[in-house]
Amino acid sequence: MKPVKEKKEAKPKAAPAAAKPRAAPKRTSKKERKPRPEKKALPPVKAIFNKGDAVMTPESVLKKRRRDDQIKAALDKHRLNAMKALRARRKTVFKRAEKYHNEYVAAERNEVRQRRQAKNAGNLYIAPEAKVVLAIRMRGIMRTHPKTTKILQLLRLRQLNNAVFIKVNHATMTMLRLVEPYVTYGAPNLKTVQELVYKRGFGKVNRSRIALNDNSVIAKELGKYGVICIEDIIHEIVTCGPHFKEVNNFLWPFKLNNPLGGWTDKGTHYTEGGDAGNREEGINVLVRRMN
């Protein structure tokens, strides 16, 4: 049998020692305080990447910089060329406007001189027939014959109070006579053409109605015909120039208001006291009331 071990008696625990009071910190004067060590400044970022002779810049960044520089140089060159072309175009436009003004004044004086000569000789002066007429639609689509509707579409008179310039020839005059109850037309003078184009002139650009407030729009669309400004458009219409068809097709139909004071009688011909049909020089007075 194994001998049984005797259990040791547990010693009594000693009482915890009393806590010693903490000594108050010694106050040191400012002179005795040690200065704090200064923090070492980190080297600049530039120095880290430019330690050697070669600049450690990613190749993609360099390519982007070169590409941006090329694009900027191309844009600057394009702007410079555009400014030079604009200055040259302005000089050309000014010279053309002056030339057209002198031409209009000379034509007006020539007509006055011919009238005086005919009067002094006891003859009658008959002015040449108009080459261009201005047609205005004054009636709507109610109870309109299909043939009349088609002619009005061909003349670009699709809406009420629309106005267009039409070149005078046998075909156009025949069409106007067929739709006389729906339109009124006559020979416009220089002032009427200028007021219409300047105030209500819109161009057709990509089938969109664009205001003619910048000559660059005209030069872009009609530059190939030698028409670069609004004065060229007016001159082509007044004189019925060689590019009248292109210029007139470029112009959007003019949208006029109802005449000041209202219509007299749409269902009666102008010669009978109404509004429809050919009114010759009277179209200028009507346009003043509608513009």
**Which pTM was predicted?**
0.71
Specify if 120 maps to a domain.
Answer: yes
Q: Give the pLDDT confidence of 243-291 residue by residue, as tens digits.
A: 999 999 999 999 999 999 999 999 999 999 999 999 999 999 999 999 8
For residue 42, the model assigns a pLDDT of 63
Whether residue 272 sits in one domain with residue 137: yes
Whether residue 76 sits in one domain with residue 201: no
- Cβ contacts of 93 within 8 Å, gap of 6 or more: 215, 228, 229, 231
For residue 86, the model assigns a pLDDT of 85
Q: Give the pLDDT confidence of 190-211 residue by residue, as tens digits.
A: 999 999 999 999 999 999 999 9
For residue 85, the model assigns a pLDDT of 87
Whether residue 260 sits in one domain with residue 191: yes
3-state SS assignment for residue 85: helix
H or E, element range at 277: strand 277-278
Q: Give the pLDDT confidence of 140-182 residue by residue, as tens digits.
A: 888 899 999 999 999 999 999 999 999 999 999 999 999 999 9
Whether residue 284 sits in one domain with residue 142: yes
30 has pLDDT over 60: no
**Containing domain of residue 88, as a range?**
60-127
- Cβ contacts of 289 within 8 Å, gap of 6 or more: 259, 260, 261
Whether residue 119 sits in one domain with residue 83: yes
Whether residue 120 sits in one domain with residue 187: no
Specify if 41 maps to a domain.
Answer: no
Encoded tokens for 197: 């184009």
Task: Provide the H-helix boundaries in the chain.
Answer: 45-49, 59-120, 146-154, 170-178, 190-200, 215-222, 230-239, 244-250, 282-290
Q: Give the pLDDT confidence of 103-144 residue by residue, as tens digits.
A: 999 999 999 999 999 999 999 999 899 999 999 999 988 889
Encoded tokens for 22: 């903490």
Query: What is the count of structural domains for the chain?
Result: 2
More confident residue, 39 or 231: 231
Whether residue 260 sits in one domain with residue 156: yes
Mean pLDDT over each residue of the chain, to the nearest integer: 87
What CATH number did the domain enclosing 250 receive?
3.30.1390.20
Whether residue 106 sits in one domain with residue 239: no
Whether residue 158 sits in one domain with residue 257: yes
For residue 48, the model assigns a pLDDT of 47
Rounded CA separation 45/31 (Å): 38
Burial class (CB in 10 A: 0-12, 13-18, 19+), 225: middle
Whether residue 286 sits in one domain with residue 273: yes
Rounded CA separation 185/252 (Å): 18
Rounded CA separation 208/204 (Å): 5
